[in-house]
Amino acid sequence: MEIKDFIEHFAEQFDDTDISVFSAETRFRDLEEWSSLIALSIIAMVDEEYDVILKGDDIKAATTIVDLFNIVKTKM
């Protein structure tokens, strides 16, 4: 699993936010488009792409995309 691919999959969950905004250090909850619906989309994407079950607490524990990436990596 590569951080670059994870960022691309993460960014695909957002309809109105340009992909150039996303990096490993992006504080995703600060994005204007962030919502509970997108959080659910991220959980579904991680399950589908990486076969990892995330919980709401996992998303709450992460501040940046790389934080979430590292959580997913530890569950693989």
Domains delineated in the chain = 3-75 (1.10.1200.10)
Residue 28, pLDDT score: 98
Two structure tokens written together for 3: 């951080």
Assess contact for 50 and 76: CB atoms under 8 A: yes
Global pTM reads 0.95
Q: What is the pLDDT of residues 3-62, one digit of tens each?
A: 999 999 999 999 999 999 999 999 999 999 999 999 999 999 999 999 999 999 999 999
Q: What gap in Å lies between CA 53 and CA 21, rounded to an integer?
A: 26
Residue 56, pLDDT score: 92
Assess contact for 54 and 71: CB atoms under 8 A: yes
Residue 66, pLDDT score: 98
